[in-house]
């Protein structure tokens, strides 16, 4: 379903989901991706533009139950609708540093988002790449893109060498590293004003 589509992630969304994972390193973290589908008139492929990320939970042992998730989806959709944005995906970071597999719960949440947005994406944070990025040693995205294929399975995109995922601003990893080294990230995640649903 997502093979003919490109995905771009805005700096604010990327930094927010990375900081969510950094703030809770011993827990699985997850959240929703908010954005829009851009018309493919300027390029042959449609583009899903991820504008923001909404952290949902961070818990070492379990993730939200379906009723909680459905409520979160409804609240986020309602909040961002006035801006012309919708829930376009889900992000997940595993609790273990060496775990780079998309867990079943992320696939199920992705399926739920897919029902309302057929080009939904699931972004899985790569904890090892995240460590390199915050040290300023990497410019590549710290997330792996998963899209749903025609067999209704979630597959990692780009494993054939194609690049379906781009960071909208090339300096995004440098901004992330700056937030971490200057401790701006602690203020950003603690201040009530900095919450995603301002």
Judging by beta carbons within 10 Å of its beta carbon (0-12, 13-18, 19+), is residue 192 exposed, middle or buried?
exposed
Q: Is the pLDDT of residue 194 over 60?
A: no
In whole angstroms, give the CA distance from residue 190 to residue 22.
13
Q: Is the pLDDT of residue 172 over 50?
A: yes
Domain assignment of residue 50, given as a range: 5-194
Residue 184, number of CB atoms within 10 A of its CB: 14
pLDDT one-digit tens code per residue, 113-171: 999 999 999 999 998 888 888 887 777 889 999 999 888 999 998 765 457 898 999 88
10: left (phi over 0), alpha (psi -120 to 50) or beta: beta
Residues 6+ apart with CB under 8 A from 99: 127
Q: How confident is residue 191, by pLDDT bands cut at 50, 70 and 90?
A: very low
State the total domains in the chain: 1
Model's pTM, two decimal places? 0.85
In whole angstroms, give the CA distance from residue 2 to residue 8.
13
Give the DSSP H or E segment for 34: strand 28-38
In whole angstroms, give the CA distance from residue 8 to residue 38.
10
Q: How confident is residue 188, by pLDDT bands cut at 50, 70 and 90?
A: low
pLDDT one-digit tens code per residue, 65-121: 667 778 888 899 999 999 999 999 999 999 888 888 899 989 988 999 999 999 999
Q: What is the CATH number of the domain that holds 162?
A: 3.40.140.10
For the segment 19-29, the average pLDDT, to the nearest whole number, is 88
Q: Which residue, among 67, 52, 76, 65, has the nearest Cα to 105 in the 3D structure?
A: 65
pLDDT one-digit tens code per residue, 31-42: 999 999 997 666
Residues 6+ apart with CB under 8 A from 66: 112
């Amino acid at each position: 379903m997502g093979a003919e589509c490109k995905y771009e992630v805005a700096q604010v969304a990327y930094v927010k989901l990375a900081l969510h994972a950094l703030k809770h390193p011993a827990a699985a973290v997850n959240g929703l991706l908010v954005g829009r589908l851009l018309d493919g008139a300027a390029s042959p492929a449609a583009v899903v533009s991820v504008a923001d990320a909404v952290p949902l939970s961070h818990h070492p042992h379990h993730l939200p139950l379906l009723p909680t998730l459905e409520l979160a989806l409804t609240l986020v959709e309602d909040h961002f609708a006035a801006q012309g944005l919708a829930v376009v995906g889900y992000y997940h970071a595993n609790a273990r540093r060496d775990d780079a597999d998309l867990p079943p719960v992320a696939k199920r949440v992705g399926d739920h988002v897919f029902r309302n947005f057929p080009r939904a994406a699931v972004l899985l944070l790569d904890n090892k790449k995240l460590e390199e990025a915050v040290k300023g040693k990497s410019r590549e995205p710290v997330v792996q893109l998963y899209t749903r294929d025609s067999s209704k399975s979630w597959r990692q995109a780009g494993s054939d060498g194609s690049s379906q995922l781009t960071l909208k601003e090339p300096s995004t990893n440098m901004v992330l590293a700056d937030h971490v080294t200057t401790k701006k990230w602690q203020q950003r995640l603690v201040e009530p004003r900095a919450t995603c649903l301002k």
